[in-house]
Amino acid sequence: MLADVELAKSYRLLNHGPTVLVSSAAGGRRNVMAAAWAMPLDFDPPKVLVVVDKSTYTRELIEASGEFVLNIPCRAQAAQVVQVGSESGHGQDKFASSGLKPMPGLKVGAPRVAGCIAYLECRVVQEPHNQQQYDLFIGEVVAAQADSEVYSDGRWHFADDAKRSLHYIAGGAFFATGEAFSV
Amino acid sequence: MLADVELAKSYRLLNHGPTVLVSSAAGGRRNVMAAAWAMPLDFDPPKVLVVVDKSTYTRELIEASGEFVLNIPCRAQAAQVVQVGSESGHGQDKFASSGLKPMPGLKVGAPRVAGCIAYLECRVVQEPHNQQQYDLFIGEVVAAQADSEVYSDGRWHFADDAKRSLHYIAGGAFFATGEAFSV
């Protein structure tokens, strides 16, 4: 079940460095891509960073809409993460081709990806120089939810391996998020 | 044993989202802090991003020197990572207080942290607006090395748990980098 995550603590969804899916929509078109290069930028108001290459269809939709969602996928979705990270959305609907299902965002027009373990809905903080020079986008997080089976009270608590978050290596290989421990 | 990492593939050291130690030096002063918010920005020439708050001593040293090192610590160092992430370097030598040992960089004046599993030596790409507005620093990676026991041929291959990389959660808790798998 999805539960709201307090915005000022939403950085905790990304703090451990998981690979994300970036979903976007504009003018009746939609897309989803994988991104290993995303992280928190600030606590309150919460902001995130994500690198989105100029060649991607996602880039076109984010620039047209000023919105995107960072979806945190889990191990059960790893093959689909690789697929939407390898193919381009130019000329095809990657939701349809990958089998990933869109579902509505709470506060943005971009879809969320069903079955993910957390969602950060973002509005672009316009920084044209970063976007042009570095393909770097800043998003302010305007809504956040997580699957209460693996995230509650501000903490991840992975049990089922299929629901662990992912850390992309290269060439279709990942690390699953591993053992939790405290010092 | 440390081995050189090809610069154009040095992003792979950070691609899975590990927590890092940021080390810096200027005018005979030195410091080390922990940062969960670091990631690759570009492949070739390789660039990285790291968020360094204005209140930190590290910030002062990076601004004075234009250099920093991203060190990737391992589980054996987790308690020291928490310590240098909690205390300020203003008024104390955190290498001395934490027991972390500095060792020379190859190409920058900033020290590296002995016992880490990888190193990215960086020169700041000056972007004053990002630094002031977002505490965001861009570094060009000018040298990279990794411990060949856990990284070789462009891939991590963790075996011993003590040498796994770390993913910070909050409050002294981490995830170790987990199981590797391919799809």
SS3 for A64? helix
The per-residue pLDDT for range A39-78, each reduced to its tens digit, is 999 999 999 999 999 999 999 999 999 999 999 999 999 9
CB pairs under 8 A between A and B: 146
Contact A171 B177 (CB under 8 A): no
ipTM above 0.90, yes or no: yes
Asked if A80 contacts A99 with a C-beta cutoff of 8 angstroms, the reply is yes
Mean pLDDT of chain A: 97
Which chain B residue's Cα is nearest to A12? B169
The per-residue pLDDT for range A76-85, each reduced to its tens digit, is 999 999 999 9
Contact A134 B138 (CB under 8 A): yes
DSSP conformational letter for A163: G
Contact B169 A12 (CB under 8 A): yes
Q: Which regions of chain B are under pLDDT 70? A: none
pLDDT of residue B67: 98
- Categorize the per-residue pLDDT at A90 as very low, low, confident or very high, splitting at 50, 70 and 90: very high
* Three-point CA angle B82, B37, B137, nearest 5°: 120
The DSSP string of B116-164 is -SEEEEEEEE--HHHHHHH-EEEEEEEEEEEETTTEETTEE---SGGG-
Contact A181 B174 (CB under 8 A): yes
Cβ-Cβ contacts under 8 Å, B48 against chain A: none
The per-residue pLDDT for range A139-182, each reduced to its tens digit, is 999 999 999 999 999 999 999 999 999 999 999 999 999 999 99
Which chain A residue's Cα is nearest to B46? A134
Domains in chain A and their CATH numbers? 2-176 (2.30.110.10)
pLDDT of residue A3: 98
Contact A178 B175 (CB under 8 A): yes
